[in-house]
Amino acid sequence: MKKTLVLLFLSVLFLGAKAQSDLPNVTLKNLDGETINITELNNDGKPFVMTFWATWCGPCVKEHNALSEVYQDWQDETGVKIFAVSIDDSRSTPRIKPFVEGKGWEFDVLLDVNKDLARAMNVSNPPHTFLFDGNGKMVHQHAGYFEGAEDELYEEILKLVK
């Protein structure tokens, strides 16, 4: 009985449902303490990138340093915006702002203190990078970071602005 119910329930729901590409309904804070609903994230019709990172994650810091070096050029050429979602918990939350500023990063930083957004977007381990088109539909994602991976991301961004 239990199994039948489960199957019935799941099949009704998932028939016709499509894989998630929309932004999930999660509310986070930014570095100024303002609450932001993720469904409202946008870049005035231009593509935007969402990266998951943490201050303690070496590859993430490398990735954001690399993105930081090219961010100005990317913005000039495509108008892309980067939302850097920190999954640091309260061990390091107050340190994020001086950390980000000290590194000279100019991304829009969001604080996912209890990993609500990471869970909703199925991020298992940082870094994890998503690309959204101008309508807020997710079009590309990539887990992990190696030197040069930002070039692939930029190719994907260019595809969206052509």
Interaction residues for another protein, span 32-61 (CB under 8 A): 32-35, 37, 55-59
Residue 83's nearest CA partner among 112, 103, 114, 57 is 112
**Rounded CA gap, 62 and 147, in Å?**
8
Site residues (CB under 8 A) for another protein, limited to 6-35? 6, 9, 12-22, 24-25, 32-35
Binders of another protein among residues 92 to 151 (CB under 8 A) are: 92-95, 97-104, 106, 113-116, 119-128, 140-149, 151
Angle at Cα 36 formed by Cα 35 and Cα 39, nearest 5°? 150
Residue 70, interface with another protein (CB under 8 A)? no
With contacts defined by CB under 8 A, name the span among 1-9, 41-49, 77-85 that binds another protein.
1-9
128 close to 50: Cβ distance less than 8 angstroms: no
Question: Total residues contacting another protein (rule CB under 8 A)?
Answer: 72
54: which 2 tokens?
A: 């943490």
- Phi, psi values for residue 50, rounded to 5°: -125, 120
Q: Does residue 84 interact with another protein by CB under 8 A? A: no
Q: Does 152 bind another protein (CB under 8 A)?
A: yes
CB 43, min distance to another protein, A: 21
Among 69, 72, 73, 161, binds another protein (CB under 8 A): 69
Closest distance of CB 65 from another protein, Å? 7
- For another protein, the binding residue among 77, 91, 159, 161 (CB under 8 A) is 91
Nearer to another protein by C-beta: 77 or 155? Answer: 155
C-beta of 46 vs 142, nearer to another protein: 142
| 130-139 CB burial, b ≥16 within 10 A, e <16 | bbbbeebebe
Which amino acid makes up residue 78? T
What angle do the packed helices 93-103 and 58-78 form, to 10 degrees? 50
